[in-house]
Structure 1
Amino acid sequence: MSSIPTPDADLPSTLGRVVEHELVVKRSRFLAHLAPVRTQDEADDVVARVRKRHWDARHHCVAVVLGTHADTRRSTDDGEPSGTAGVPMLEVLRHRRTTDVVAVVTRWFGGVLLGAGGLVRAYSGAVAAALDDADRGGLVLDRRRLVEVALDVPHADAGRVEHLLRDWATHHDAVVEDTLYAATARLRLLVPPAALDSLGADVGAVGAGTLRPEIGAQRVVDVRRSRTP
């Protein structure tokens, strides 16, 4: 990829891979395990694996958010007092605008009762800390609506045009995908809708009118969040 687009404001982010974070509160251990998932079945598989791995723990509380607009949400307290675990975990995911993720917080009881407020702080804090770790580690993926664009170029010109497209993409929040080679070289980009006219004009100038972008479908794309130096 040649650039990292800024996220669309109405689309939540997701995770690129699993992240874990452990908290210890009054000798109780809280291990947050956050994983990217696309379906409830995938989320259920993650929960089952965590339960099997940490079979000796007392609780495995769960929050799941699914869908492009985070419109499917589920949570369980798994034996903790109602409203002290799953819902606070879910609220962290909602507040941090995260979707297509399952959060499992496993608790090993340390012998000291934490009270309802203490449980809420521990379960929500474990999820928040895991998301902070993911952000610092470059594991958060932002989402953009981008348009597929293809450009067929003679093999002899492919290197030169691809170099120009990568430079163009850097300045227009676009993404360059892998080139496909057949009878011609098929250069592929993902372009913000507002930049399509600019692309057409710039490609036309480069190819003296012989190169014509083929506009395809719009799709939601996960892109790694840019890091501020």
Structure 2
Amino acid sequence: MQDEYRTVAHAGVHETEVNRSRFRCALAPAATEREAQDFIASVRKEHADATHNCWAYVIGADASVQKASDDGEPGGTAGVPMLQMLLRREMRYVVAVVTRYYGGVKLGAGGLIRAYGGAVGEALDTVGTRARRRFRLGTVTVDHQRAGRLQNDLRATGREVRDVRYAEAVTLDIALPDADVPAFRAWLADTTAGTAAFEPGGEAYGDA
């Protein structure tokens, strides 16, 4: 798995004009292909009167799914440059739709490639991006007497507490960078005088 990837901070739109044609780029985060396709469908419905609604998306931290469409523009002049811009910026779990309203001036293949790729690049700059980092999930089990202070200590040292469950003992679900696991074990033993147990689990991505 990738240690880190980038995605859009939130959904957003940026519009630019090239030789009287309007290029409106809509961006959105997409966790799955279905989410990406649903977003594309919603933009196409909103702009059904547009000349073209070209799109591209990248799903997977390792960019395992990459798809694009020229939507009637000459082959390779719209969807591909849009996809290439997303990959060049190392964007993942993201979908882009560029809606073109033709302004009467033909741009030629080179002009289209620059316009569609540029629309995505400008939109990324305007909407903003954020890094997502791979974390190791795990559980800490501790007695009730030490649980409150341990939660405070975890948060004070910047470690994420995802959930707390109370039973005979207290279980805290945490997330931390893989590289921090050995140091965390030592810190936990020192902080709780060896009374807490740590069990590593799977992996997930969170804000870096």
Fold equivalence (TM over 0.5): yes
Judged with a 3 Å threshold, the aligned counterparts in structure 2 of structure 1 residues 31 and 17 are, in CA distance, closer, same or farther, namely same
Once the two structures are overlaid, the 10-residue window that deviates more, 67-76 or 54-63, is 67-76
Contact 1:134/1:140 (<8 A) preserved: no
- Matching residue's letter, 2:144: H
Equivalent residue in structure 2 for 1:188, among 160, 173, 196: 173
The reply to whether residue 76 of structure 1 matches residue 45 of structure 2 is: no
Displacement, 1:152?
2.1
Displacement, 1:110?
1.2
Counterpart position of 2:80: 87
Displacement, 1:51?
0.8
The reply to whether residue 149 of structure 1 matches residue 149 of structure 2 is: no
The reply to whether residue 165 of structure 1 matches residue 154 of structure 2 is: yes
Contact 2:140/2:196 (<8 A) preserved: yes
Once the two structures are overlaid, the 10-residue window that deviates more, 180-189 or 82-91, is 180-189
Counterpart position of 2:100: 107
* Alpha-carbon distance in structure 2 between the residues aligned to 1:133 and 1:210: 50
Counterpart position of 1:5: none
Judged with a 3 Å threshold, the aligned counterparts in structure 2 of structure 1 residues 19 and 152 are, in CA distance, closer, same or farther, namely same
* Alpha-carbon distance in structure 2 between the residues aligned to 1:82 and 1:104: 16
The reply to whether residue 38 of structure 1 matches residue 37 of structure 2 is: no
- Matching residue's letter, 2:100: R
- How high is the sequence identity, in percent, across the aligned residues? 44
Displacement, 1:9?
6.5
- Matching residue's letter, 1:207: T
Contact 1:12/1:70 (<8 A) preserved: no
> Match of 1:12, SS?
strand
TM-score (norm 1): 0.82
The reply to whether residue 140 of structure 1 matches residue 130 of structure 2 is: yes
Counterpart position of 1:53: 46
RMSD of Structure 2 on Structure 1 (CA): 2.0
Structure with the largest fraction of strand: 2
Question: How many residues were matched structurally?
Answer: 208
TM-score (norm 2): 0.90
- Matching residue's letter, 1:166: R
Displacement, 1:157?
2.6
Structure 2, unpaired ranges of 5+ = none
* Alpha-carbon distance in structure 1 between the residues aligned to 2:136 and 2:9: 22
* Alpha-carbon distance in structure 1 between the residues aligned to 2:5 and 2:194: 39
Counterpart position of 1:205: 190
Displacement, 1:30?
0.7
* Alpha-carbon distance in structure 1 between the residues aligned to 2:166 and 2:94: 36
Deviations 1:93-117 (A, max 9, x none): 1101112221110001112222222
> Match of 1:213, SS?
strand
- Matching residue's letter, 2:166: Y
* Alpha-carbon distance in structure 1 between the residues aligned to 2:89 and 2:61: 15
* Alpha-carbon distance in structure 1 between the residues aligned to 2:136 and 2:3: 17
